[in-house]
Amino acid sequence: MTKAQSDRDIRIAFDGGPVSALLRTPQNARACYVVAHGAGAGMRHPFMAAVADGLAGRGIATLRYQFPYMERGSKRPDSPRVAQAAVRAAVAEAASRLPKLPLIAGGKSFGGRMTSQAQAEAPLPGVRGLAFLGFPLHPPGQPGDERAAHLAKVRIPMLFLQGTRDEFASLKYLKPLIKRLGTRATLKLFDDANHSFHVPAKSGRTDAEVMNALLDALAAWTDRTIG
């Protein structure tokens, strides 16, 4: 890994912070993905690190950051108000540090939903599109689409990267949602993958292969979105 592709530890100050963040900027970066973690694991989780590693190799910078509750070591996620403030602060930090790069925002599960809620409340400055690494459409065992009602207010492109066995996103509800969102929404499904993008051995594929396919899809959609 080159120096330009190593993580840079930074701090993001805002009313609910400060919080830690990791900035990865490859030399050939053409965009930056501001990516938030899921509810149960922080920005250093192996999944998050793999996303940053893979996107760096594809010419996309990443800014990973902690939500305040994770920074404190709490297991209880922040309120939407606090989480959305963290999203806005992270986006502003990325724009300040990488002013020449177009921005994509989103995240894993909870992090992606908090980003979309922030965008629905008021557009995130400089953000061209939202990319969700497993959008949590509903709690496991409680299928529905109420959690996605705010997406109707999002006017920029959205990418949904989802496993077909995702216990947080029944295809019965996810596919009609994508259809309702129209041309703003793109759905990329990964056969046999669950919410963590894990696939069983009998699928004939490995988790690493799924991750590579996921990152290829994300990079290609980013290129189309930023023009």
62 contacts 56 by C-beta, under 8 angstroms: yes
Please say if the pLDDT value at position 42 is more than 50: yes
Please say if the pLDDT value at position 17 is more than 70: yes
The mean pLDDT value for 62-77 works out to 96
Burial level of 66, CB count in 10 A (0-12/13-18/19+)?
Answer: buried
Give pLDDT tens digits for 84-118.
Answer: 999 999 999 999 999 999 999 999 999 999 999 99
Please say if the pLDDT value at position 160 is more than 90: yes
Q: Facing residues of 106 across strands?
A: 35, 131
Domain assignment of residue 28, given as a range: 3-226
Please say if the pLDDT value at position 4 is more than 80: no
Burial level of 208, CB count in 10 A (0-12/13-18/19+)?
Answer: exposed
Average pLDDT, the chain: 96
What is the spatial distance between Cα 88 and Cα 136, in angstroms, rounded to a whole number?
A: 20
The mean pLDDT value for 66-73 works out to 97
Q: Could you tell me if residue 89 is left (phi over 0), alpha (psi between -120 and 50 degrees) or otherwise beta?
A: alpha
Q: What is the pTM of this model?
A: 0.95
DSSP state of 15: T
Please say if the pLDDT value at position 19 is more than 70: yes
Tokens 């949904």 belong to which residue?
A: 160
Instruction: Please give the backbone phi and psi of residue 126, each rounded to the nearest 5 degrees, phi first.
Output: 85, -5
Please say if the pLDDT value at position 194 is more than 90: yes
Number of folded domains that form the chain: 1
Alpha helices in the chain (DSSP H): 46-57, 68-72, 80-97, 110-121, 171-181, 207-226
CATH number of the domain encompassing residue 200: 3.40.50.1820
Please say if the pLDDT value at position 5 is more than 90: no
pLDDT for 58 equals 98
Please say if the pLDDT value at position 57 is more than 80: yes
Q: Give, in degrees to the nearest 5, the angle at Cα 138 between 134 and 142.
A: 135
132 contacts 163 by C-beta, under 8 angstroms: no
